[in-house]
Chain A
Amino acid sequence: MRGLKVARFGVGLAALSLVVAACGGGDDDDTSSPSSSGAAEGGTSGGRVSIEISEPQYLVPTNTNETAGAEVLDALFVGLVDYDDQNKPVLTELASAVDSTDNKTWDIKLNSGWTFHNGEPVTADSFIDAWNYGALNANGQNNNYFFGNIEGYSALNPEDPNPDDDEVPPATAETLSGLKKVSDTEFTVTLAAPDNTFKTSLGYTAFYPMPKAAFSDLKAFEEAPVGNGPFKMNGTWNHKESIAMDAYADYKGTKPKVDGIDFKIYESLETAYNDLQAGNLDVMDSLPPSALANAEQDLGDRYQTFPSSYYQFLGFPTYDEKFQNIKVRQAISLAIDREAISKTVFNNTRVPADAFVNPVVAGYREGACGDFCSFDPARAKQLLAEGGGLSDMTITYNADGGHKEWTTAACNQIQQNLGVKCVATPKPSFDVLLDDLDKSAAKKQSFGPFRLGWIMDYPSMQNYLGPLYSTGGSSNYYGYSNKQFDDLVKKGQTEATEEAAIADWQQAEDILAQEFPVVPLFFGVTNAANSERVTNVSVDAFDRIDKVGISLK
């Protein structure tokens, strides 16, 4: 009896060690392990790199509106417009012309010979079909509103007569009347109103072309997107674990230096950073706060920073009487030592903001915010007294975004410099924050300032001024409204030259500096780290890693 049991245990152990051996073997095959690096100076071609991302929400161009999905699609797709080092729009190798004489009708020409990863040629239809799909309300695509200024959009998105029922209102057309095919390599886009930011906006994920195969089974397409870019999928999207892709052999543009990319999906940045230090991960373009202080000394030149389009500020609900006096808002701004928070809390991964738009866009002026974005506790106290004083306040933030440290620090500074009791108050997520804001507004209770952040969709001053400060802007949650400002922003979009547009927008920004509806706080800095085996790592203002340029050492 006893002998039998021991024998059974023995078998169990043998089986166990077999499994271990099998797993070990699997690891050896994994070419992304650091041991298999080909060592040479200045970068070699070939090999695979692994890149950290979080789980993308979607992998369909017209539906992807967050950075992880955009990073993956950027490897798989190439659109019409890209951006240079100054974030000015330039044509991609796929496009030969994106022109307009009146900013209303745009003529778009493609280079021929380009194909999707399944061999289907990239034609004008690939763009028109994709954009029509994205614009139709019944498809429920996240990037629907990007097509909003193309003629015929309202027919695809009629007003919902019963917003509370379970029906999407029926569209009166299936295609945008403003999109017209001229030939396989040329099409025209007619806008509802002149807009000089249209070309710039074409660099956004929403405007990639899609192959015919996508529309027959979009769900299958999303699991292994067929694009036209430098990389093609190797296998399918391994949800929450990895996405593997290889260089596309028939790619007509500049070929990437590496043979393939493995996106590794992490939920926690701390874990990813530990993995990078342990040599299991090659690149990450966002470091956990805990790593920032020591990153430079831990990693040396493997730690880099790049400008980011992120802009962080405090919004003041306009209905809130406690903060309606401009001097109170200015006092709060002057009482916050941005430099100190930048240095201690962010380890210089944020820089103090001195304008209402981020420096990465053309038209940004240093110090556009005026004196009130500096740190001056004495003047702050004086202004607060003149503005009627304040006994206590809160700064509300969403707890799921890592904002606790800096809002607490800002509050402590306000307390110390103004003598105003200040508590940084968390809400579990941003939508709950907005919910509570609505409830407070309905009851006319004070809500106080709350944090807001903005990452641009495309590099233009208008992409800050429009959504953030225009009446009814998509992220104008505090209800700021100024007719003169709105008119200037719109006027800028119809100007014939970029200079004239920027002049209008700068005038609009001056209005913000006078009325001070928000307190600008920080501009973002992207921080990236890489393993010892890769080189030529760079990150653009959209937090996208240059996947064509990256190479092994």
Chain B
Amino acid sequence: MTDTNVQTGAGGIGDKAAVPGTDPAGELGPVSTQAPLPEERRASLAADAWRELRRSPIFWISSAIIAVYVAIAIAPGLFSGIDAYDTNQCDLSQSLAGPSGEHWFGRDFQGCDVYANIIYGTRNSLAVGFIVVFATFLIGTPLGAVAGFYGGLTDSILSRILDIFNGIPYFLAGLIILVTLDLPSIWGVVLALTLFGWMSTARIARSAVISVRDADFVSAARSLGATRLRILLRHVMPNALAPVIVVTTISLGGVVAAEATYSFLGIGVKPPTISWGLQIADAQQYWGRARHILFFPAGALSLAVLSFILLGEAVRDALDPKLR
């Protein structure tokens, strides 16, 4: 076997990104070793997967929860009577007041409504998650695919670049990027998490491509005289995309959690921007006095993360015929 094939295992299995929880890739071993499917069966595989998904209660429950979150993110005003961005609602004398009929989730340290903060924070936290995941997908997939498909020197260079980015602690990258560029709103966090989060996607894409690269139908296409680029785009990528998509879905939760960790380290999104991470980071120091201000935003975050992970799991189960 060649150099690059040796790495199939290491690259494909269980490479975890520096961003905690971004890459659940452990599950991908089976995907990358499964026998590549002939072209004509792809449609029926998708149909099979959908049939499988429709029967999965986990799929429906997690999708429903995510739908609610998305609705909140789009129109927070429909879900909360209080505008969290209007600080006139805050009352310092009511600092850390517990949940009541008027303020369901109680008040935070500044005496602002915790429920309103969670509702209005949803948009930013989810936006960070979606944008980062989409951007890392766009960066990581082509890089990983090219490395896996062309192999040799290209692969070595790309793999070592990957190592460099993987080895740099993501908080350090965040610290420097966020402090240096001082971007408004969520954009600094998005940039930092993207620049140091694309590696896991690239790893998965690379190993998925390697597992498909030498399949019979690829050889067939090659013998018919197709160009390498055409082979990569038309034949290899469609068969390698599934595991990448699964990882991407699951990593969304990790990104949202990483946003919170940046806030904890004091470099995340800045006021007046509201986010779950900021709320959690602010709340942790009052843990001994008022649990509710940590519990509710952390709950909102955990539920979102959990929903995305479960959705990813359900999709993976459906796509992986061996686990049926």
Direct contact of A and B (CB under 8 A): yes
Report which A residues bind B (CB closer than 8 A): 270, 288-291, 293-294, 337, 340-341, 344-345, 399-400, 404-405, 408-409, 411-413, 415-416, 422-426, 428, 432
Seed contacts A341-B92, A344-B92, A412-B90; 9 additional CB < 8 Å A-B pairs: A289-B285, A294-B289, A412-B110, A415-B88, A416-B87, A416-B88, A423-B272, A426-B271, A428-B266
What is the CA–CA distance of A344 and B108 in the complex, to the nearest angstrom? 12
Chain A contacts for B288, CB-based, 8 A: 290-291, 294
What is the CA–CA distance of A363 and B272 in the complex, to the nearest angstrom? 41
What is the CA–CA distance of A415 and B109 in the complex, to the nearest angstrom? 17
Chain A CB within 8 A of B270 CB:
yes
Q: Is the CB of B285 within 8 A of A409?
A: no
Taking the nearest CB of chain A, how far is it from the CB of B324, in angstroms? 35
What is the CA–CA distance of A43 and B201 in the complex, to the nearest angstrom? 64
Chain A contacts for B90, CB-based, 8 A: 412, 416
What is the CA–CA distance of A345 and B92 in the complex, to the nearest angstrom? 9
What is the CA–CA distance of A424 and B266 in the complex, to the nearest angstrom? 14
B81-96 near A? 1/0 per residue, CB < 8 Å:
0000001101011010
The 7 closest A-B pairs by CB, nearest first: A290-B285, A412-B87, A344-B95, A428-B179, A399-B266, A423-B272, A412-B90
What is the CA–CA distance of A187 and B95 in the complex, to the nearest angstrom? 59
Q: Is the CB of B87 within 8 A of A415?
A: yes
Q: Is the CB of B266 within 8 A of A405?
A: no
Q: Which one of A291, A400, A408, A423 contacts B110 once the chains associate, using CB atoms below 8 Å?
A: A408
What is the CA–CA distance of A146 and B298 in the complex, to the nearest angstrom? 50
* Given known A-B contacts A408-B110, A409-B110, A412-B92, A425 and B270 have beta carbons under 8 A apart: yes
What is the CA–CA distance of A413 and B267 in the complex, to the nearest angstrom? 25
What is the CA–CA distance of A400 and B175 in the complex, to the nearest angstrom? 13
Q: Is the CB of B267 within 8 A of A428?
A: yes
What is the CA–CA distance of A340 and B90 in the complex, to the nearest angstrom? 13
Q: Is the CB of B87 within 8 A of A400?
A: no
Q: Is the CB of A293 within 8 A of B267?
A: no
What is the CA–CA distance of A372 and B282 in the complex, to the nearest angstrom? 32
What is the CA–CA distance of A432 and B272 in the complex, to the nearest angstrom? 19
B255-269 near A? 1/0 per residue, CB < 8 Å:
000000000001100
Chain A CB within 8 A of B69 CB:
no
Chain B contacts for A408, CB-based, 8 A: 110, 271
Majority DSSP secondary structure for residues of A touching B: helix
What are 14 A-B interface contacts by the 8 Å CB criterion? Answer: A290-B288, A294-B288, A294-B289, A340-B93, A399-B266, A400-B266, A405-B110, A408-B271, A411-B87, A412-B110, A416-B87, A423-B271, A426-B266, A432-B179
Taking the nearest CB of chain A, how far is it from the CB of B264, in angstroms? 12
Taking the nearest CB of chain B, how far is it from the CB of A271, in angstroms? 12
What is the CA–CA distance of A432 and B88 in the complex, to the nearest angstrom? 30
Chain A CB within 8 A of B286 CB:
yes
Q: Is the CB of B289 within 8 A of A413?
A: no
Q: Which one of A291, A411, A412, A426 contacts B270 once the chains associate, using CB atoms below 8 Å?
A: A426
What is the CA–CA distance of A189 and B240 in the complex, to the nearest angstrom? 82
Chain A CB within 8 A of B79 CB:
no
Taking the nearest CB of chain A, how far is it from the CB of B39, in angstroms? 47
Q: Which one of A270, A294, A340, A412 contacts B285 once the chains associate, using CB atoms below 8 Å?
A: A270
Chain A CB within 8 A of B287 CB:
yes
What is the CA–CA distance of A270 and B284 in the complex, to the nearest angstrom? 11
Chain A contacts for B266, CB-based, 8 A: 399-400, 426, 428
Q: Is the CB of A288 within 8 A of B271?
A: no
- Residue among B92, B282, B285, B289 facing the most chain A CB atoms (10 A cut-off): B92
Q: Is the CB of A424 within 8 A of B271?
A: yes
Closest to A426 in B: B270
Taking the nearest CB of chain A, how far is it from the CB of B290, in angstroms? 9
* Given known A-B contacts A409-B110, A424-B271, A290 and B289 have beta carbons under 8 A apart: yes
What is the CA–CA distance of A409 and B109 in the complex, to the nearest angstrom? 9
Majority DSSP secondary structure for residues of B touching A: loop
Chain B contacts for A425, CB-based, 8 A: 270-271
- Residue among A288, A294, A400, A412 facing the most chain B CB atoms (10 A cut-off): A412
Q: Which one of A270, A294, A409 contacts B92 once the chains associate, using CB atoms below 8 Å?
A: A409
Closest to A289 in B: B285
What is the CA–CA distance of A400 and B282 in the complex, to the nearest angstrom? 13
Q: Is the CB of A413 within 8 A of B109?
A: no
Closest to B272 in A: A423
What is the CA–CA distance of A411 and B87 in the complex, to the nearest angstrom? 9
Chain A contacts for B285, CB-based, 8 A: 270, 288-290
What is the CA–CA distance of A404 and B109 in the complex, to the nearest angstrom? 11
What is the CA–CA distance of A409 and B266 in the complex, to the nearest angstrom? 18
Chain B contacts for A423, CB-based, 8 A: 271-272
What is the CA–CA distance of A432 and B90 in the complex, to the nearest angstrom? 30
Closest to A427 in B: B182
Chain A contacts for B287, CB-based, 8 A: 290
Q: Which one of A290, A411, A422, A426 contacts B286 once the chains associate, using CB atoms below 8 Å?
A: A290
Chain B contacts for A412, CB-based, 8 A: 87, 90, 92, 110
Closest to B266 in A: A399
What is the CA–CA distance of A290 and B272 in the complex, to the nearest angstrom? 23
Chain B contacts for A270, CB-based, 8 A: 285
Taking the nearest CB of chain A, how far is it from the CB of B69, in angstroms? 27
Q: Please report which residues of chain B, range 265-324, place their CB below 8 angstroms from some CB of chain A when the two chains form the complex.
A: 266-267, 270-272, 282, 285-289
Chain A contacts for B93, CB-based, 8 A: 340, 344
Chain B contacts for A428, CB-based, 8 A: 179, 266-267
What is the CA–CA distance of A270 and B287 in the complex, to the nearest angstrom? 11
What is the CA–CA distance of A434 and B270 in the complex, to the nearest angstrom? 18
Chain A contacts for B179, CB-based, 8 A: 428, 432
Closest to A273 in B: B288
- Residue among A345, A408, A425 facing the most chain B CB atoms (10 A cut-off): A408
Closest to A413 in B: B92
Taking the nearest CB of chain B, how far is it from the CB of A440, in angstroms? 13
Chain A contacts for B88, CB-based, 8 A: 415-416
What is the CA–CA distance of A341 and B179 in the complex, to the nearest angstrom? 29
What is the CA–CA distance of A187 and B275 in the complex, to the nearest angstrom? 63
Taking the nearest CB of chain A, how far is it from the CB of B189, in angstroms? 14
What is the CA–CA distance of A337 and B90 in the complex, to the nearest angstrom? 14
Chain B contacts for A416, CB-based, 8 A: 87-88, 90
Taking the nearest CB of chain B, how far is it from the CB of A185, in angstroms? 52
Closest to A291 in B: B288
What is the CA–CA distance of A430 and B110 in the complex, to the nearest angstrom? 24
Taking the nearest CB of chain A, how far is it from the CB of B275, in angstroms? 14
Chain A contacts for B95, CB-based, 8 A: 344-345
Chain B contacts for A288, CB-based, 8 A: 285
What is the CA–CA distance of A422 and B110 in the complex, to the nearest angstrom? 14
What is the CA–CA distance of A428 and B262 in the complex, to the nearest angstrom? 12
Closest to A419 in B: B88
Taking the nearest CB of chain B, how far is it from the CB of A441, in angstroms? 17
What is the CA–CA distance of A412 and B271 in the complex, to the nearest angstrom? 12
Chain B contacts for A405, CB-based, 8 A: 109-110
What is the CA–CA distance of A345 and B110 in the complex, to the nearest angstrom? 9
Closest to A408 in B: B110
What is the CA–CA distance of A448 and B272 in the complex, to the nearest angstrom? 16
Closest to B179 in A: A428
Q: Please report which residues of chain B, range 97-111, place their CB below 8 angstroms from some CB of chain A when the two chains form the complex.
A: 109-110
What is the CA–CA distance of A175 and B16 in the complex, to the nearest angstrom? 60
Taking the nearest CB of chain B, how far is it from the CB of A470, in angstroms? 32
What is the CA–CA distance of A415 and B286 in the complex, to the nearest angstrom? 25
Taking the nearest CB of chain A, how far is it from the CB of B92, in angstroms? 5
What is the CA–CA distance of A411 and B286 in the complex, to the nearest angstrom? 21
What is the CA–CA distance of A86 and B93 in the complex, to the nearest angstrom? 35
Q: Is the CB of B289 within 8 A of A340?
A: no
Taking the nearest CB of chain A, how far is it from the CB of B225, in angstroms? 54
What is the CA–CA distance of A425 and B184 in the complex, to the nearest angstrom? 11
Taking the nearest CB of chain B, how far is it from the CB of A433, in angstroms? 12
Chain A contacts for B286, CB-based, 8 A: 290
Closest to A424 in B: B271
Chain A contacts for B109, CB-based, 8 A: 345, 405
